[in-house]
Amino acid sequence: MNPSPPYLLDQSRRWTPNQLFWIVRNGVKMTGMPAWGLTQSDAEVWNLVAFLEAMPDLAPADYQKMRTELPPPAPKGA
C-alpha cells in the first residue's frame, strides 16, 4: 500500500481506546488505512480495538492458537 498504513502494533500505547475506535471506524485519509466502519458494526470495531490493546502483550504462539480456533468466516449475505 502506498502510502503505508499506520503500524498498529504499538498504537494502543499511543492512542486511547476511543481514539483507536475512531481511527479504525473512519480510517485515516491519505494513507492506506481504510475505514472499517463501512463494513463492520460498532461492536466488531470495538472487538478490533480490544485486540489492538492486547496485541503488544500477545505471544506469537498465543496468536497462532487464536487463529486456528476461529470459526471460518460466514459467507457474504448470510
What confidence tens digit (pLDDT) does each residue in 15-73 have? 899 999 999 999 888 777 889 998 999 999 999 999 888 888 889 898 888 888 877 77
pTM of the model: 0.71
Burial class (CB in 10 A: 0-12, 13-18, 19+), 48: middle
Tell me whether the omega of the peptide bond preceding residue 3 falls within 30 degrees of 0, making it cis: yes
